[in-house]
Amino acid sequence: MTEDSALSRLETVVRAEREAIGKLDSAAVLQFTEEKRALLEELTRELPRGSIERLQALRRDLQHNLILLAHARDLVRDALAAAHVSVPIGLGPLARNSSSPPRLRVTG
């Protein structure tokens, strides 16, 4: 994969991750995390000078996604508390080797 195609794919993955966070789709977020890791490993092998601006923009986007993910986590935690549902930390699709808890629909 060329540097440009790897950066383009990373930009696409970051946008898709943001959408998955908005939908509280933890399985998709986990998949995007793995793909981002692989793409970043590929890009860091030889970091070309022309990619600095794109990587800086991606850094801002990744920070934005992290904030959204934290808010989504808090929203789910608060919804579960309001529904008097106790879910131990580490359960759910993001935890490896765990069974998925029942799906809850959170409406505004």
Residue numbers of the chain with a pLDDT score lower than 70: 48-50, 86-108
Domain ranges of the chain: 3-82
The pLDDT assigned to 77 comes to 84
pTM as predicted: 0.55
The pLDDT assigned to 14 comes to 92
C-alpha–C-alpha distance, residues 45 and 10, integer Å? 15
The pLDDT assigned to 35 comes to 93
Instruction: Report residue 46: phi and psi, to 5°.
Output: -140, 100
CA of residue 94 relative to chain centroid, distance? 10
Tally DSSP H helices, then E strands, for the chain. 3, 0
The pLDDT assigned to 53 comes to 76
The pLDDT assigned to 17 comes to 92
The per-residue DSSP string of 35-79 comes to HHHHHHHHHHHS--GGGHHHHHHHHHHHHHHHHHHHHHHHHHHHH
